């Protein structure tokens, strides 16, 4: 093959590296208006009244639309239409929209939305699935029960199986919400279309034909009156479907009501709140097995949180019921899965689609069964794993494709040197107290495409031009995964032309038939076949026109490659096309591909669920810091049978990205929602992996060509993500000997074996559902010439705030309603510089964190400061953020403060014509509180050069590899006498108390003495009492107290 | 307020709304939509541009702070219809998928490479730690930067 299987540069790469690629928010149209959404103020309740009068009076507001303005069907949804696009008389979750505003600018639209007063009869919602399933309070009374779907699966007789088993165990697993975290938020534009009295919608749309269906129904239009054109998608991962559909409906409504184009781009906070997530699952597994590890019987009972709407729950949970028992042949299986309504954020498709949850449970269970039988994870899987001809839980015989479970396990574990590491780490862990290393594996089988969940067919158009170049269009959609490239490769390979001569033409929904959604890793296998169907038709026609020249009678006697068609004679493809065109042949063809038959019995859960399957295995190597609960992932080896690689570059990219998302799911990503109120508002509170979070990923491509797939190809998108969390959980257990039955493995989950979040009372929910708008309402900016002028401005102007780097100030301005006057001191020379004077180093207030880090004087005298400030925010933050800003913000977790406090830093304040010097302890009075007076600003930070020769130990604890808000930090500086006793010791803390401070009581115990275990224990005792006294009652002290004490002991031990 | 500054080697004298951020000025006033917004709070790095030689979050710089500044955006990387080596390397190594983080990634990488032509892995990770990518798992991006000279 010439093109298929190679590393190919993606087709849309050029536009993307030049900034020319158009995404939803980049669309700008003449006379375009903006939409803003008024979200509910409470997650659950009745709407008593909506008062839009204040909003309407705002200059620039064009129109406000409520439920009564809806033209067509007021509810949408893929199976059950249960979501009011604009709320009618009730609200069901925090992301519900009660009104929409049209205005001449984004800012005005958002300000107006805030002016809409809604009165509610607030109700206690249902937030816990175990409560919901009892049906004591109905989330949606109209459906009579909270259970919206129940799939049973029955194979054999589980009771018999349990009776025949030597061991029967029961385990319960839990997974949380998971946010897609696409970097582009939802962004849509709607334009009235007078040509068909309809509407066109553009933007970040994953499944344009689905969006068209919903918009048409909502507006009471025919499908041919709504045309959808996708922009480039800035990531989707299953996430830009249902939510995008509801936003598209709203923005289209405004376009129709006003006759003007409208745009909306959600702020990250709005996106976090409104968009659906991955379903949280509670999973009960009961399993019976023999002492030799053979599993006889498995009973699975799963409860899924669908949130306020059913959305894709019908489909998501169906995949779970097929795959819940993993790639293992078990004679007796009984699985039940139910999805229930709650008043939480609703849940729907996310890459994996009901599989990552069950894989986590199933693969954790396999390791445990192995352990109970004295078998290794490899042995237990070899014993029970699928082989050629195995029968699945749904009774399907795996015979029409290569069952490569063993192969992927072997390849992934060999790449990891799994068995060697198991032994190595056993030894390592015996001698290492604090850090524990582990390796763990997990594997999966996954049905390709939609399977029996729905009709599975898709479309493609290939159009060859008279010069031999051509276009490919498909009913499936580029989500960023590289689908355009893959399809063009398939078309070019089939036609025997080079990759560059084919171009992907993104069709609007009007231009191609509904090819189903771009989901279920069905793009390559389904769409690729549709492309091949089209090229085959064209090839026939080209052949017909050229067969005399080729000298053969049958197309089977020809080969097509390198731009030539070869029969007995060779004809240039381009010439053949020219000839065919002028002979009147149609060189365009509509390709269609319908998947092979599948079957399903709803009563028994038996049938041939999917026409083919893929197999994957991932192995994780990680280190656990048992003193803090932090997991560092060292490496993940990922072996995936993809059938056949089409674009190796894209394929590896899918594996890298999927593995990283899986790591986030398993370790970092905890969507905090309490009483229906979303606490993970932005990407500082919902943390996704950074470049520093997985050290190594090794993609291993396994190819067993599929009988059905185009060139044998199957899929990779979802398999790459679904296994990561499970193998990490197993590696964690291998490292620590402790099994976690819940993910993510956050610091607190690892350390305390429970998630720890700031508790919130239900009664506060109403107050805290306020939106953060992505607008800055009113700002005046002044650029003073010197600090005297700056001080004067601070005194004279209303609501005056200093701004230097802006890394805190600008964030504070977002969504603020009151006008602010910014006094920009960023370019004042007198606030810059680092100088040595009289045994002190004087740092200008606006010296940037990065400049200080790189300053030789600072490096020489204050190495602990250099180390500590290196972890402030990201590089971009350190380049802009100033030292005075970090101090004046007075955050309890500010990273500059522990070293500044330890080094005895002072701040020089200037204001009201005079200067004053304060120690940091005097200056900072509490969390986010300082002594700064009106008209004052920090002029410089003064650091006395230490008179003693201190060695230091610094530890900063963050949740991930970089860009952390410190959970805790500790600096110990110690100078020793020649006899080894402590000459002086300074200990300061960060993120522990309301402000950074020295632990003087503890220091006193240590001063002058010789460090030994006994002394450390004495100091520890004092520290414990101190922490207890200061923060003992706080929610976080359960974690922070013991961890800080651990860090304290570790730090002191370094000085023994 | 009037601000005089340079964007992509071109001088501008602009009457800017002081409530706008550099990001808004670029996207709305100058039509340079290559720079993206992902979070508005300096967490994702999609809006990264180079200001006076340093990679900064354009969502956290106010318009009124731009006087005399020199800004470079992704639109400046291709010169005379020729892609820069960095752009070529991103393409070659599969460092681009959905492409939304790409402009910010490129600018963070360029700010680094302008100072350190052959950066170590640690330097690359430090320069890009503030740029979130949800598609690529970062590895191809690191490879692209490490091999920029081999394009």
DSSP H/E element including A721 = helix A717-722
A963 and chain B in contact, CB less than 8 A:
yes
Distance CA A534, CA A247 (A): 35
User: B65–A14: do the CB atoms touch at under 8 Å?
Assistant: no
Helix (H, G, I), strand (E, B) or coil at A820: strand
Helix (H, G, I), strand (E, B) or coil at A312: coil
Give A632's pLDDT tier (boundaries 50, 70, 90): very high
Q: How far is CA A129 from the centre of its chain?
A: 23
Chain B closest CA to A636's CA: distance in Å? 12
Q: What is the pLDDT of residue A451?
A: 96
pLDDT 10s digits, A343-384 = 999 999 999 999 999 999 999 999 999 999 999 999 999 999
- Closest alpha carbon to A721 in A8, A233, A238: A238
Give A596's pLDDT tier (boundaries 50, 70, 90): very high
Question: Bridge partners of B21?
Answer: B62
User: B65–A185: do the CB atoms touch at under 8 Å?
Assistant: no
Cβ count within 10 A of residue A147: 16
Q: What is the pLDDT of residue A22?
A: 98
Distance CA A632, CA A625 (A): 8
Distance CA B106, CA B127 (A): 11
A799 and chain B in contact, CB less than 8 A:
no
Partners of B25 on chain A (C-beta within 8 Å) are none
Distance CA A353, CA A978 (A): 65
pLDDT 10s digits, A481-512 = 999 999 999 999 999 999 999 999 999 999 99
Distance CA B133, CA B137 (A): 7
Beta-sheet pairing, A694-702 with A630-641: parallel
Q: Is A374 left (phi over 0), alpha (psi -120 to 50) or beta?
A: left
User: B91–A807: do the CB atoms touch at under 8 Å?
Assistant: no
Q: Which of A16, A479, A486, A668 to mutate to test the interface with B (most CBs of B within 10 A)?
A: A16
Name the residue in chain B with its Cα closest to that of A265.
B37
pLDDT 10s digits, A948-1007 = 999 999 999 999 999 999 999 999 999 999 999 999 999 999 999 999 999 999 999 999
Partners of A811 on chain B (C-beta within 8 Å) are 40-42, 60
Cβ count within 10 A of residue A761: 8
User: B43–A682: do the CB atoms touch at under 8 Å?
Assistant: yes
Distance CA A375, CA A395 (A): 27
Which tokens in the block code for residue A331? 């004679």
- Distances in Å between the Cα of A643 and the Cα atoms of A594, A847, B130 are 19, 57, 36
Partners of A879 on chain B (C-beta within 8 Å) are 54-56
Average pLDDT (A89-95) is 98
- Closest alpha carbon to A662 in A591, A594, A745: A745
Partners of A658 on chain B (C-beta within 8 Å) are 137
Is the pLDDT confidence value at A28 over 80? Answer: yes
Partners of A237 on chain B (C-beta within 8 Å) are 134
13-52 in chain A: CB under 8 A from chain B? 13-23, 25-26, 28
Distance CA B80, CA A253 (A): 44
Q: What is the pLDDT of residue A971?
A: 98
Cβ count within 10 A of residue A142: 6
E runs forming strands in chain B: 2-7, 10-15, 48-51, 54-57, 70-72
Which tokens in the block code for residue A962? 């970089």
Contact A996, A927 (CB under 8 A): no
Residue in this structure with the two tokens 């200067």, named with its chain if needed: A915
Which tokens in the block code for residue A263? 């745009």
826-845 in chain A: CB under 8 A from chain B? 826-827
Q: Which of A691, A832, A851 to mutate to test the interface with B (most CBs of B within 10 A)?
A: A691
User: A235–B98: do the CB atoms touch at under 8 Å?
Assistant: yes
Give A912's pLDDT tier (boundaries 50, 70, 90): confident
Q: Report how many Cβ contacts below 8 Å link chain A to chain B.
A: 266
Q: What is the pLDDT of residue A206?
A: 97
A184 and chain B in contact, CB less than 8 A:
yes
User: HSE on the CB side for A279, CA within 13 Å?
Assistant: 37
Q: What is the pLDDT of residue A278?
A: 98
Mean pLDDT for chain A overall: 96
A797 and chain B in contact, CB less than 8 A:
no
Q: Which of A30, A783, A876, A877 to mutate to test the interface with B (most CBs of B within 10 A)?
A: A876
What residue ranges of chain B have pLDDT lower than 70? none
Name the residue in chain B with its Cα closest to that of A810.
B60
**DSSP state letter for A278:** B
Distance CA A542, CA A1039 (A): 72
A694 and chain B in contact, CB less than 8 A:
yes
Average pLDDT (A643-657) is 98
User: A650–B142: do the CB atoms touch at under 8 Å?
Assistant: no
| Edge-to-edge strand ranges of the sheet holding B70-72 | B10-15, B2-7, B70-72, B48-51, B54-57
Contact A704, A642 (CB under 8 A): no
Q: What is the pLDDT of residue A774?
A: 75
Contact A660, A689 (CB under 8 A): yes
Partners of A873 on chain B (C-beta within 8 Å) are 42, 130
Name the residue in chain A with its Cα closest to that of B141.
A691
- Closest alpha carbon to B141 in B126, B118, B124, B123: B124
Which tokens in the block code for residue A855? 């300053």
Of A14, A656, A690, the CB nearest to B139: A656
Partners of B38 on chain A (C-beta within 8 Å) are 183-185, 234, 268, 683
Of B45, B100, B137, the CB nearest to A23: B100
Residue in this structure with the two tokens 């007796």, named with its chain if needed: A332
A669 and chain B in contact, CB less than 8 A:
no
% chain A with pLDDT above 90: 97
**DSSP state letter for A665:** I
Give A777's pLDDT tier (boundaries 50, 70, 90): confident
A453 and chain B in contact, CB less than 8 A:
no
Partners of A777 on chain B (C-beta within 8 Å) are 19
53-82 in chain B: CB under 8 A from chain A? 54-57, 59-65, 67-68, 73-75, 77-78
647-666 in chain A: CB under 8 A from chain B? 649-650, 652-653, 655-661
Name the residue in chain B with its Cα closest to that of A816.
B19
- Closest alpha carbon to A668 in A724, A747, A732, A729: A747
Give A770's pLDDT tier (boundaries 50, 70, 90): low
Sign of CA dihedral A224, A225, A229, A234: negative
User: A234–B98: do the CB atoms touch at under 8 Å?
Assistant: yes
Chain A closest CA to B59's CA: distance in Å? 8
Q: Which of A669, A875, A962 to mutate to test the interface with B (most CBs of B within 10 A)?
A: A875
Q: What is the pLDDT of residue A1006?
A: 98
Beta-sheet pairing, A840-844 with A820-824: unpaired
Average pLDDT (A310-338) is 98
A697 and chain B in contact, CB less than 8 A:
yes
Partners of B54 on chain A (C-beta within 8 Å) are 850, 879-880
Spatial neighbors of B77 by CB under 8 A, at least 6 apart, are A17, A18, B83, B84, B86, B87, B106, B110
Partners of A846 on chain B (C-beta within 8 Å) are none
Question: Where are the alpha helices (H) located in A325-478, listed in sequence order?
Answer: 355-372, 377-384, 405-416, 418-431
Average pLDDT (A714-734) is 98
Is the pLDDT confidence value at A765 over 90? Answer: no
B30 and chain A in contact, CB less than 8 A:
no
Partners of B55 on chain A (C-beta within 8 Å) are 875-876, 879
Chain B closest CA to A440's CA: distance in Å? 20
Is the pLDDT confidence value at A768 over 60? Answer: no
Dihedral in degrees, nearest 10, Cα atoms A264, A277, A966, A834: -30
Distance CA A301, CA A286 (A): 9
Chain A closest CA to B93's CA: distance in Å? 7
């Amino acid at each position: 093959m010439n093109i298929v299987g190679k590393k190919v540069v993606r087709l849309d790469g050029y536009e993307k590296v030049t900034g020319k690629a158009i995404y939803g928010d980049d669309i700008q149209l003449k006379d375009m208006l903006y939409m803003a959404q008024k979200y509910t103020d409470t997650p659950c309740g009745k709407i008593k009244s909506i008062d839009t009068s204040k909003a309407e009076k705002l200059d620039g507001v064009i129109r406000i639309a409520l439920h009564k303005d809806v033209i067509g069907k007021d509810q949408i949804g893929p199976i059950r239409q249960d979501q009011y696009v604009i709320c009618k008389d009730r609200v069901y979750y925090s992301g519900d929209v009660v009104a929409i505003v049209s205005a001449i600018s984004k800012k005005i639209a958002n300000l107006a939305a805030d002016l809409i007063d809604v009165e509610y009869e607030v109700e206690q919602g249902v937030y816990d699935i175990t409560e919901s399933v009892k049906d004591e309070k109905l989330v949606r009374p109209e459906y009579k029960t909270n259970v919206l779907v129940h799939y049973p699966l029955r194979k054999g007789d589980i009771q018999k199986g349990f009776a025949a088993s030597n061991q029967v165990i029961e385990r319960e697993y839990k997974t949380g919400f998971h946010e897609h975290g696409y970097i582009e938020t939802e962004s849509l534009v709607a334009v009235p279309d007078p040509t068909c009295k309809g509407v066109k919608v553009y933007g970040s749309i994953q499944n344009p034909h689905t969006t068209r269906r919903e918009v048409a129904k909502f507006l009471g239009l025919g499908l041919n009156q709504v045309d959808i054109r996708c922009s480039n998608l800035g990531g989707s991962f299953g996430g830009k479907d249902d939510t995008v559909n509801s936003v598209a409906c709203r923005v289209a409504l405004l376009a129709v009501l006003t006759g003007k184009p409208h745009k909306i781009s959600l702020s990250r906070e709005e996106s976090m709140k409104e968009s659906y997530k991955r379903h949280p699952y509670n999973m009960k597994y009961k399993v019976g097995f023999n002492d030799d590890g053979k599993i006889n019987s498995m009973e699975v009972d799963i409860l899924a949180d669908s949130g306020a709407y059913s959305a894709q729950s019908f489909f998501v949970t169906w995949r779970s019921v097929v795959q819940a028992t993993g790639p293992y042949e078990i004679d007796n299986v009984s699985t039940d899965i139910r999805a229930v309504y709650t008043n939480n954020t609703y849940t729907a498709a996310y890459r994996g689609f009901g599989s990552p949850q069950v894989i986590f449970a199933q693969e954790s269970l396999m390791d445990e069964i192995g352990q109970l039988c004295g078998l290794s994870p490899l042995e237990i899987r070899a014993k029970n794993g699928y082989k050629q001809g195995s029968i699945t839980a749904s009774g399907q015989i795996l015979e029409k494709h290569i069952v490569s479970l063993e192969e992927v396990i072997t390849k992934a574990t060999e790449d990891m040197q799994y068995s060697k590491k198991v032994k190595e780490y056993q030894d390592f862990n015996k001698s290492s107290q604090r850090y524990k290393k582990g390796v763990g594996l997990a594997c999966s089988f996954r049905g390709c495409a939609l399977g029996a969940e729905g009709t599975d067919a898709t479309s493609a158009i290939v159009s060859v031009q008279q010069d031999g170049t051509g276009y490919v269009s498909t009913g499936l959609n580029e989500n960023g995964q590289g689908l355009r490239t893959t399809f063009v490769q398939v078309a070019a390979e089939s036609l025997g032309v080079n990759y560059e001569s084919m171009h992907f033409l993104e069709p609007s929904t009007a231009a191609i038939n509904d090819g189903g959604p771009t989901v279920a890793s069905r793009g390559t296998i389904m769409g690729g076949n549709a492309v091949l169907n089209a090229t085959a038709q064209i090839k026939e026609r080209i052949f017909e026109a050229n067969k005399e020249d080729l000298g053969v009678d049958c197309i089977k006697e020809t080969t097509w490659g390198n731009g030539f068609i070869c029969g007995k004679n060779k004809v240039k493809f381009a010439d053949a096309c020219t000839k065919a065109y002028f002979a009147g042949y149609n060189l365009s063809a509509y390709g269609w591909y319908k998947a092979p038959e599948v079957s399903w019995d709803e009563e028994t859960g038996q049938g041939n669920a999917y026409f083919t399957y893929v197999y994957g295995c991932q192995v994780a190597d990680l280190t656990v810091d048992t003193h803090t609960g932090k997991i560092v992932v060292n490496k993940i080896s990922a072996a995936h049978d993809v059938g056949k690689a089409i674009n190796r570059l894209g394929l590896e990219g899918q594996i890298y990205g999927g593995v990283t998302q899986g790591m986030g799911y398993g370790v970092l990503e905890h969507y905090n929602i309490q009483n229906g109120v979303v606490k993970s508002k932005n990407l500082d509170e919902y943390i996704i992996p950074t470049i520093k979070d997985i050290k190594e990923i090794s993609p291993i491509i396994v190819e067993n060509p599929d009988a059905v797939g185009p060139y044998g190809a199957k899929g990779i998108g979802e398999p790459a993500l679904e296994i990561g969390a499970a193998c990490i959980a197993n590696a964690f257990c291998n490292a620590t000997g402790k099994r976690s039955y819940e993910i993510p493995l956050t610091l607190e989950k690892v350390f305390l074996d429970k998630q720890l979040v700031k508790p919130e009372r239900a009664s506060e929910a109403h107050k805290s559902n306020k939106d953060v708008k992505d607008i800055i309402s009113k700002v005046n900016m002044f650029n003073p010439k010197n600090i005297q002028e700056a001080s004067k401005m601070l005194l004279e102007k209303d609501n005056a705030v200093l701004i230097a780097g802006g890394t805190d100030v600008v964030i504070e301005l977002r969504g603020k309603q009151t006008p602010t006057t910014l006094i920009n001191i960023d370019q004042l020379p007198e606030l810059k510089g680092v100088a040595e004077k009289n045994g002190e180093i004087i740092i200008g207030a606006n010296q940037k964190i990065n400049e200080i880090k790189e300053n030789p004087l600072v490096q020489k005298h204050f190495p602990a400061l250099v180390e500590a400030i290196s972890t402030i925010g990201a590089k971009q933050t350190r380049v802009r953020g100033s030292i005075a800003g970090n101090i004046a913000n007075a955050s309890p977790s500010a990273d500059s403060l522990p070293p500044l406090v330890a080094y005895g830093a002072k701040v020089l304040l200037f204001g009201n014509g005079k200067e004053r010097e304060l120690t940091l302890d005097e200056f900072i009075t509490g969390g986010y509180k300082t002594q700064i007076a009106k008209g004052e600003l920090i002029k410089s930070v003064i650091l006395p050069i230490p008179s003693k020769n201190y060695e230091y130990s610094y530890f900063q604890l963050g949740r991930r590899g970089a860009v952390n808000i410190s959970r805790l930090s500790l600096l110990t500086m110690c100078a020793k006498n020649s006899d080894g006793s402590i000459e002086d010791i300074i200990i300061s803390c960060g993120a522990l108390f309301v402000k950074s401070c020295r632990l003087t009581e503890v220091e006193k115990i240590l001063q002058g003495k010789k460090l030994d275990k006994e002394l450390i224990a004495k100091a520890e005792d004092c520290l414990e009492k101190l922490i207890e006294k200061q923060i003992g009652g706080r929610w976080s002290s359960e974690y922070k107290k013991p961890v800080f004490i651990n860090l304290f002991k570790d730090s002191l031990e370094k000085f023994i | 307020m009037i601000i005089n500054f340079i964007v992509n080697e071109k001088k501008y004298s602009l009457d800017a709304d002081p409530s706008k951020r550099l990001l808004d000025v670029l996207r709305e006033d100058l039509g340079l939509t290559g720079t993206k917004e992902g979070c508005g709070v300096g967490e994702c790095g999609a809006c990264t541009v180079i200001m006076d030689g340093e990679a900064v979050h354009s969502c956290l710089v106010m318009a009124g702070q731009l006087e005399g500044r020199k800004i470079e955006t992704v639109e400046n990387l291709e010169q005379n219809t020729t892609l820069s080596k960095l752009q070529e390397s991103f393409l070659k190594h599969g460092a681009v998928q959905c492409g939304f983080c790409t402009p910010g990634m490129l600018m963070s990488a360029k700010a680094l490479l302008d100072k350190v032509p052959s950066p170590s892995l640690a330097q690359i990770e430090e320069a890009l730690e503030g740029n979130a990518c949800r598609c690529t798992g970062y590895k191809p991006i690191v490879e692209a930067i490490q091999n920029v000279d081999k394009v």
